[in-house]
Structure 1
């Protein structure tokens, strides 16, 4: 059955597992090819985020839409349903302009254009940054779920937010990193509900957070890591955890421009489009061609050499790389169709994701193609932003 024409020349693409409605298609079906999220075609979307079982989109007017799993209030509005398969507006944030957001294990965190942070969803480890409630017997307890977004880290001026399995991390305007929640696998370390500054990090320009590990890229190009290290995801040559940041090895002399963290793996991107990966290699999520080898230090992904990569997104067990000319290559675990190949294949060999959509109704030019601008990997699904680009525009930009 042929795909219908998108109404707009800018679309959200989704594929993979749909069992919790996280694809936004109005149903709970898996998709093994990229499909357009029809409900948001009339909106100008600037960013998408894929979580373990849910998704969100940010519009150019600062509105935030969420969909997918909602049993912990992760969608940001009263949990009248367990799952929602159609994107809905987060009304509690309607009067602010959201510019960036992140989804953790079962909580979300967002920041507006004034540097104010908000959190909602699961909070049993303090990951939403709310102080414990005082009970009748005088004891205190954390509220398990926060279903409506509320301010967090009110004393901080936030530039970027990131979320792990049960913890939150923010980068401030001053270049400092703060964190709260349960930063390690539950039970290992007592949770912290108030923001604590990560010592030893100055002039940070970008952060990335996996399930229980963290990355921070400094303005001088140095990459630091801390947290869980069971599969070498810190990139420091061993599998011992670190409670304080340590330099990632074997990246000296490279000009890093971006970083990404999956559940248990990490990537770094250089200014000349080269990708380095490390951490858990099972299912081929590192892109080295095999399906099992973990790497304790960063290694160049040779199978992407020459593709001029401008972004990599890491999910739970798969990854997607975006090229400068708007193509996507995915690799890793393939069940539920999360790689977008049209077949449920698991592979460590990066393969191109074909955007098989017709030209948009708004376009007068049939000669052109869909050009991917951003990718976002979740637990078992993938999202992307794409725009229709005519052959004339492609020639000029090339």
Structure 2
């Protein structure tokens, strides 16, 4: 072992005094061996420098999974470096580092594995499925606040990154809240992570988690779909019943115990629950629910008979009744039949009929309802572009915005 030390040279003091004085100090390198300590010689220095020069720091090996096919000879944006880039096909495990070549970051996702043995196993395997419809790997990116990305930390991520904790599971559906996530596996298991306030994760506490946690459900419940609200969560079971957890303000989760045709008393009001519990507000607790969505303070549910129920706050008419009724009981929206899907914005509601027709109601500010008039307490149709007839295939609302996925309505009157 090589270390440094300082040797002090002491000379006697000036004439006529007995006290020694420090005149100079000499800094030396010493070598420490099991059986001796000695001053380093010039030969020792030369030998140590040669050893140091031979210890080249090797770059860290990183593993990536390819998301898209890539042929650098034809696709590289930098032809002068194309020879150093690696070609790949979707799902291929790619080794980057040292002399292994380079990969474009927007075409791959890093596999967050530090263990060298596991790295070797993945390289031998050669491929990982990247199509969610195939094996259901989940990737997250964006803000890592409250641990909502599920990577075991609170860091932001700018590229899609595999959630390593769920690599052994096949994910079939996920939902994001404001700062938490729920996911369902092909075995009907539910995992939750992120912010835990109000019990929105359904784990029995209000603790936050930066890594996926399996949710404990009643034995008879098998999850089919999950839905995250701002501060709450819902599950539709395979039996088409609803379970919910988190904030039940205004009874937006239907957790108040309400009999048909009755209003709830203060003693039966539930403000929040920390574990998933069955909906108890009639008639939701007796209907077969095929789809739900949660807004800021209200929710909507669609039954297997095409009925549309709303429940929660009606401050802006988002419940869909003709008056600004204030009730915690679910409301069957009249005038709508054959509803296939519905969605909630911050204070408005949207529903799509079996023929692709779109209805909106509630807060109308800033074009929320897709038409010029302001708030509407009853559903009204939205006029889609007449020159290009469409049928709506999917819908999503977030705060004050709506996104419709459409396809051309192919019939004899439409030019192909």
Shared fold (TM-score greater than 0.5)? yes
Specify the alignment match of 1:226 in structure 2. 361
Runs of at least 5 residues in structure 1 that lack an aligned partner in the other structure: 274-398
Cα distance change on mapping 1:99 and 1:236 into 2, 3 Å: same
TM-score using structure 2 length:
0.60
* 1:26 equivalent among 140, 152, 155: 152
Cα distance change on mapping 1:191 and 1:122 into 2, 3 Å: farther
Specify the alignment match of 1:248 in structure 2. 382
Which one has the largest radius of gyration? 2
Q: Distance in 2 between matches of 1:87 and 1:208?
A: 27
Specify the alignment match of 2:246 in structure 1. 121
Once the two structures are superposed, residues 222-277 of structure 1 have per-residue CA deviations (whole angstroms, 9 ceiling, x without a partner) of 11111222221110123x1112111112344212212111111012122259xxxx
The structure richer in strand per residue is 1
CA contact (8 A) 1:237 1:249 kept: no
SS of corresponding position for 1:72? helix
Q: Distance in 2 between matches of 1:140 and 1:167?
A: 21
Determine which structure has greater relative contact order: mean sequence separation of CA pairs < 8 Å that are 6+ residues apart, divided by chain length.
Answer: 1
Deviation at 1:94, TM superposition (A): 5.3
Within a 5 Å distance, the mapping from 1:110-259 to structure 2 comes to 110-131=235-256, 139-140=266-267, 142-152=269-279, 153-184=284-315, 192-238=327-373, 240-252=374-386, 253-259=389-395
SS of corresponding position for 2:270? coil
Corresponding position: 1:11 with 2:145 = no
Corresponding position: 1:39 with 2:165 = yes
Runs of at least 5 residues in structure 2 that lack an aligned partner in the other structure: 1-59, 63-109, 114-121, 123-127, 130-135, 259-264, 410-416
Q: Distance in 1 between matches of 2:159 and 2:195?
A: 21
Corresponding residue pairs, total:
267
TM-score using structure 1 length:
0.62
Q: Distance in 1 between matches of 2:192 and 2:325?
A: 30
CA RMSD of aligned residues (A): 2.6
Deviation at 1:80, TM superposition (A): 5.0
Once the two structures are superposed, residues 134-172 of structure 1 have per-residue CA deviations (whole angstroms, 9 ceiling, x without a partner) of xxxx95463321111111121111011111111121100
SS of corresponding position for 1:39? helix
CA contact (8 A) 1:256 1:270 kept: yes
Cα distance change on mapping 1:210 and 1:93 into 2, 3 Å: farther
Specify the alignment match of 1:269 in structure 2. 405
Within a 5 Å distance, the mapping from 1:53-92 to structure 2 comes to 53-79=179-205, 81=207, 83-92=208-217
The structure richer in helix per residue is 2
